[in-house]
Amino acid sequence: MSEPQKIHDTPPMMTITDPAEARAVIRRGAYTGHTAGVAPDFVQGNVCILPRDDAMEFAAFCQRNPKPCPLIGMGAAGDPALPDLGDIDIRTDVPQYRVFRDGELVEERDDVLELWRDDLVTFILGCSFSFELPLIEEDISLQHVERDTVVPMYRTNIACTPAGKFNSDMVVSMRPLRPADAIRAVQITSRFPGVHGAPVHIGLPEQIGVEDVYKPDFGDPPAMNDDQLAVFWACGVTPQVAVEQAKPSLCITHKPGSMLITDKKNIELAAL
């Protein structure tokens, strides 16, 4: 393998470790960047806000597909609070939002105060940040972290269970690991069912419809060593693809990488 390259310049980053403090900065519009490494001990969530009727079907889609869509928070219709995840106003506490209408991205905003409606329901989905820290803490080197790149993600032939208008093949993220680390990673991530849990596939990418691991559908291309296996986890991009295909009249999400920071500790998601 060639020397790992740093593909991206390091983007601007907030270094606050307290989640409520980080949200306060974001709430007043003083930070609109990505949240990787912010309050690293705390759960960050993918955001998906939908009108009530779509929300009912989306809730069922998450329930039926917990590996790609691990639901860690759900609001009441019209209520922007998520009290079980912290003192949160979902209209202001995400650094950057994306607004989709009929499946099309129409704008990016720093807050969605003006778009809020009485029928909007907030979903917060767990993300792999929460299991990457326990992996790194056990000295399992993660290439995309080392290289400061975005983890490679792939569309697969693994069918999700549909629910109403929501359906998608599963999108997976891939981390190249040596076999012993892959085994340990299965053990560690099995403890975190709320953030994608154990891998869904290991080795043999073509079996799940990934023809070329060097050409991801999302994220940056990986390097693979001869002594590594491709280890695949269910990915939170899956529900995004399902939403794109369902084309709800309105959908508000976070901008990729700029997620909701919660007061829940990563370790609280450990099943045992």
Binding site for a copy of itself (CB under 8 A): 179-180, 182-183, 186-187, 190, 198-204, 207, 227, 229, 272
Question: In the complex with a copy of itself, which residue's Cβ is closer, 133 or 224?
Answer: 224
Q: How many CA atoms lie within 13 A of 3 on its CB side?
A: 2
Show Cβ contacts of residue 65 under 8 Å, excluding neighbours closer than 6 positions. 160, 161, 170, 238
Nearest approach, Cβ of 196 to a copy of itself (angstroms)?
A: 13
Both tokens of 30, joined, read 């003083």
Nearest approach, Cβ of 190 to a copy of itself (angstroms)?
A: 5
Question: In the complex with a copy of itself, which residue's Cβ is closer, 94 or 200?
Answer: 200
Nearest approach, Cβ of 174 to a copy of itself (angstroms)?
A: 13
Question: In the complex with a copy of itself, which residue's Cβ is closer, 68 or 75?
Answer: 68
Crossing angle of helices 129-137/179-190, nearest 10°? 130
60-63 long-range Cβ contacts below 8 angstroms, 24+ apart: 60/163, 60/164, 60/166, 61/160, 61/161, 61/162, 61/163, 61/164, 61/166, 61/167, 61/239, 61/242, 62/123, 62/125, 62/239, 63/163
E strand or H helix that includes residue 180: helix 179-190
Nearest approach, Cβ of 202 to a copy of itself (angstroms)?
A: 5
Question: In the complex with a copy of itself, which residue's Cβ is closer, 166 or 192?
Answer: 192
* Radius of gyration, CA atoms only, the chain: 18
Both tokens of 239, joined, read 């529900």
Nearest approach, Cβ of 114 to a copy of itself (angstroms)?
A: 46
Q: What is the DSSP secondary structure assignment for residue 172, as one 8-state letter? A: E
Question: In the complex with a copy of itself, which residue's Cβ is closer, 94 or 185?
Answer: 185
Nearest approach, Cβ of 152 to a copy of itself (angstroms)?
A: 18
Question: In the complex with a copy of itself, which residue's Cβ is closer, 82 or 230?
Answer: 230
